[in-house]
Structure 1
Amino acid sequence: MATGDEMIKVVGDRYCFPYTMELVVKKKLQSFSNSHYDVFDTTGNILLRVDGSVWNLQRRRVMTDPAGFPVITLREKGNGKLQQPISWRHEWQIYEGESSDPNHLLFRAKRSSGFRLKSNLDVYIGSQFKKGAGDFRVTGSIASLSIKVRRGNSIIAEVSHNYTWKSYKGKESFKVKVYPEVDYAFIVALLVIMHENENV
């Protein structure tokens, strides 16, 4: 589990709590071209929503708070200078609100390798491109029903996929455990990216 008292805030400190957060994320395919994620606490209160089109040339998802105000925007980046010429190595860029301004870029997430069965992610904070390991690593896969988010050797969040017959109908559910002082909006964004990468 996570160690130390340092707050890990990426989206914002309002999403960090001094205790372990237990979340339920429910995903529903609303139509052929649109899917929706709802994030709840253990008492059923809605905390976040994520919407966006599934099938388009540049996928884009917007995370909103319960009142509908944009929190972050997740944009899939096409091949370019910062991306390897392997189309399977999807890169996502996450911005404050609905911005696409480079000054508002919070973090980037890229598949560690296009050839691995597990679609691990390297996560880089800010706009500065770095070679080698990212600031965070996401390991596991939706298919294996288990995902872990790591910072160095410490696990800061864990996700389990509640796979049922409803999953075949476009309805999926995930249990998310976010350790103390870790930004849960950041963790939910990584879960959405993992799910998107495995459903291209």
Structure 2
Amino acid sequence: MAQPSYIPLTNLVSVIGPHYCVPYPIDLAITRKLLALTDGNFVVTDVNGNIMFKVKVRITFLRERQLLTDAAGNPIVTLRPKIMSAHSRWQVFRGNSKDPADLLFTAKTSSIFQLRTRLNVYLAHNTTEEVCDFKVEGSWLERSCVIYAGDSSTVVAQMHQRYSAESILLGKDKFMVTVYPNIDYAFIVSLIVILDDINSEDGS
């Protein structure tokens, strides 16, 4: 894995929306209910405990999709796994849409079998997918992953485990994500949701 290097980005990196970009690092706490089978399996808060995002699961005929919402439950993006794909592949659409015109980005594993996490991310306009726009590397099992800009060593966000008495007693998996300045933090959260789903398929 490339050695991380933190280079502050002066231009906004907006994927979902520029209002999710702030000029300073932002720390988000992600709490995942380990046995959740319905809505609310993910809750994302800031360092003061204020709810920033929620994740809802919707299961339809032979299909599952996840909905990233704001604290009030308003849809931000819809995350849909693509069936009949050799790699684990997800498509992310604006709002509650599944219209190709609302596609924001696609994420897929770099190989069918992985010992370590490797996820390549392609923005909607990158139709050739020859070079990724973002990549994720690390160990999901250890909740230690780094998100890079393109196929480079420039870090845009990273996650790390956070243990607490609450997480152990209440069956919750809690970890932190640091999103660097001017990076779309709603986009970063959506990547974490995808990573969780892909690795849940493997029993992680």
Pairwise same-fold verdict (TM > 0.5): yes
Cα RMSD, aligned residues only: 2.3
For residues 15 and 97 of structure 1, what CA distance do their matches in structure 2 show?
Answer: 15
SS at match of 2:200: coil
Q: How does 1:35-46 map to 2 (within 5 A)?
A: 36-46=41-51
Letter matched to residue 71 of structure 1: I
The offset of 1:116, in angstroms, is 2.2
Letter matched to residue 105 of structure 2: F
Deviations 1:94-120 (A, max 9, x none): 000000000000000000112220131
The offset of 1:147, in angstroms, is 0.6
* Structure 1 partner of 2:138: 140
Q: Which ranges of 4 or more aligned residues in structure 1 deviate by more than 6 Å?
A: none
The offset of 1:164, in angstroms, is 6.5
* 2:7 is the counterpart of 1:9: no
Unpaired segments of 5 or more residues in structure 1? none
Identity %: 35
- Alignment coverage as a number of residue pairs: 193
SS at match of 1:199: helix
1:148–1:59 CA distance, 2 compared to 1 (3 A): same
* Structure 1 partner of 2:200: 199
Letter matched to residue 156 of structure 1: V
For residues 134 and 33 of structure 1, what CA distance do their matches in structure 2 show?
Answer: 33
* Structure 1 partner of 2:161: 161
Which of these residues, 62, 68, 81, is aligned with residue 73 of structure 2? 68
Contact map agreement 2:39 2:55 (CA 8 A) in 1 = no
Contact map agreement 1:29 1:35 (CA 8 A) in 2 = no
Could you state the TM-score of these two structures normalised by the residue count of structure 1?
0.87
Deviations 1:140-180 (A, max 9, x none): 13213201000122000001123578469752111010000
Could you state the TM-score of these two structures normalised by the residue count of structure 2?
0.86
Contact map agreement 2:57 2:65 (CA 8 A) in 1 = yes
Contact map agreement 2:8 2:180 (CA 8 A) in 1 = no
Unpaired segments of 5 or more residues in structure 2? 1-5
Contact map agreement 1:23 1:175 (CA 8 A) in 2 = yes
Letter matched to residue 157 of structure 2: A
